[in-house]
Structure 1
């Protein structure tokens, strides 16, 4: 969930902007159709990452999450450190709560994430570091983790981010504990194990800085092609979409989607937000709207793109200020749940359809 400067290209025209008076998302009968209704007509799921503490404690957040989105992703509570904090001891309570919420509100669930180099439990990283967990045992642990988690949610997850952030920006494999201990075959293993545990879930690669055609996205394209040729069930490519308006909008987004579609894969935007250097002003919000709309238009322009997920929708609970000093305002709504031009831009794009 990080982002680095992207190659500069010309910004999209001002015609994409949506103007008008912003209204709180919690307004009642006078409010226009929510995003999910427009997305349904456009044959795409519109999703959000969900902060489970906010979902439990904030009535406005809970109501807005249910109203606006047809898909939800666990922001943190399906990650390894959350579900297996102690070896062999699983805690599904918060993840199960999200699945129940989704069921009660007619929402699909994206699983995030089975295999990552970050947010691993301390017992695992310490064991690898001190040598008490060797390569053979680590492979068994990984198999058991993926199998146990996917089986637990079998039939309840429509897309899984199976392997997350395995390449560097230059297209080389990330030097994670997985690569160091298991070699590159761990990627294929993870997909095979996940598919065996739930054959109906769509299985995705997922990363940041892969919106356009560059060394990193090309590495994924080549990897996916090789694995699929070997019969490995790599079925989707997830583009996170963490952008910043201080960098140019990524080029060749539609062409990038098209080449993965050419492999017979689904695509999805999985973690979209668009941050800015604070303070906020009208010009920055207008630019932000063009970035959100540009990614959405690319998705709607590709039949392979099945979902468009924002990484949180209100600045009240955004991860950005805690990671990028002096930056923020990255979501569709401010801290009071008042919609921004970016929310209107998505409404307009979804209403236009495919």
Structure 2
């Protein structure tokens, strides 16, 4: 006999109790802890923004420390912010993140050394191979060297592939050629030899892009350069989680001797006319583009919960290969999907709502570990 789904009304009652608890300092203790639930399986991470790194809200800080044992900076280690001028580096916020991690027993993944997007403004004025090479080399050596022994891992190169598995026509490919990825890993290894080094991308669970990613990894290894893992970002859409492709990717990347991690997990519930996470893509707002301004319909809430449940069952099935699951944001209010690909939308892609209260998806995820 099929078991009837738990009604959303039951969850609503639970949320009401949590809302009452949230008014006091013990709110962070009233719900299960993701980091404790999965402590014997894989790391549980989140992306942190400036306000969270600065610990401006003590309750939010306590909540983060209870739920997560790994963190990735949302922006503060990207080159536009960390390396604003040719000969100037600003490590202020990145250093605060390191201290945050020490204080709350949270491991920090550096993100990211080389990415074609969010580059310093001065790069636009550079039109010579020698200058791009100098920036590339100095940036990796300086940044990876500064955080040597402070971050446990780096996303060394981010999003270097097209959807068909070919190399993206970035400024680095244009001036440095298709060996720039291997060279980035070589430089990172030299600057920070004890740090785990990862390649990170979106849609690299899809067959064509996966094949390109595998060839990239093989090329790095053939050059005698170390690469420790591949990050699958996990920006997926509700009701359309590619579970078979994800599982096949876990198996194929692991067969190369790599750790596999899900680095930017969220599940989009709003409509979009393209797949992936290319920040350069945009959509035009219209009357239908923000369909849930105040609340998510029960049917979508249930589908979101079912999708997260299926994902975590798969992650647990392969917990000997999956080392980390990182959500891209602490709660729905923090999600980048509120402003991309259309600014000002109300999105609901994470396990916690805008008040950090657990959604049905949270309880489904917790239940997978039992």
| Band the TM-score falls in, shorter-chain normalisation | 0.7 to 0.9
- The alignment status of 1:201 with 2:200, answered yes or no, reads no
1:304-319 matched pairs, under 5 angstroms = 304-319=321-336
Q: CA deviation at 1:246?
A: 5.6
Q: Which residue of 2 aligns with 1:114?
A: 113
Q: Deviations over 1:106-144 (max 9, x none)?
A: 1111110010000000012x222xx3xx10221121111
Contact 2:28 2:59 in 1 (8 A): no
In 2, the alpha carbon distance for the partners of 1:306 and 1:260 equals 13
Contact 2:157 2:200 in 1 (8 A): yes
Distance 1:334 1:33, change over 3 A: closer
- The alignment status of 1:48 with 2:64, answered yes or no, reads no
1:1-354 matched pairs, under 5 angstroms = 20=11, 21-22=14-15, 23=18, 26=22, 27-28=26-27, 31-42=30-41, 44-56=42-54, 57-124=56-123, 126-128=124-126, 131=127, 134-211=128-205, 213-245=206-238, 247-277=240-270, 278-279=291-292, 280-302=296-318, 303-325=320-342, 326=345, 328-349=347-368, 351-352=369-370
In 2, the alpha carbon distance for the partners of 1:250 and 1:327 equals 26
TM-score (norm 2): 0.84
Q: CA deviation at 1:248?
A: 4.7
Q: CA deviation at 1:260?
A: 0.8
Q: CA deviation at 1:250?
A: 4.4
Q: CA deviation at 1:222?
A: 1.9
Range that drifts further, 162-171 or 24-33: 24-33
- Gaps of at least 5 residues in structure 1 are 1-12
Distance 1:194 1:287, change over 3 A: same
Distance 1:247 1:14, change over 3 A: farther
Q: Partner of 2:166: helix, strand, or coil?
A: coil
Q: Partner of 1:109: helix, strand, or coil?
A: strand
Aligned-residue CA RMSD in angstroms?
Answer: 2.3
In 2, the alpha carbon distance for the partners of 1:348 and 1:14 equals 16
Q: Partner of 2:150: helix, strand, or coil?
A: coil
Q: Partner of 1:40: helix, strand, or coil?
A: coil
Larger RCO, structure (CA 8 Å, separation 6 or more): 1
In 2, the alpha carbon distance for the partners of 1:232 and 1:217 equals 20
In 2, the alpha carbon distance for the partners of 1:17 and 1:103 equals 41
Q: Partner of 2:110: helix, strand, or coil?
A: strand
Q: Partner of 1:41: helix, strand, or coil?
A: coil
Contact 1:315 1:333 in 2 (8 A): yes
Higher radius of gyration, 1 or 2: 2
Q: Deviations over 1:148-176 (max 9, x none)?
A: 11111111111210110011111111111
Q: Partner of 1:328: helix, strand, or coil?
A: coil
In 1, the alpha carbon distance for the partners of 2:140 and 2:310 equals 35
Q: Partner of 1:251: helix, strand, or coil?
A: helix
Q: Deviations over 1:17-70 (max 9, x none)?
A: 99732335955486244111112132x110000012244333332221111100
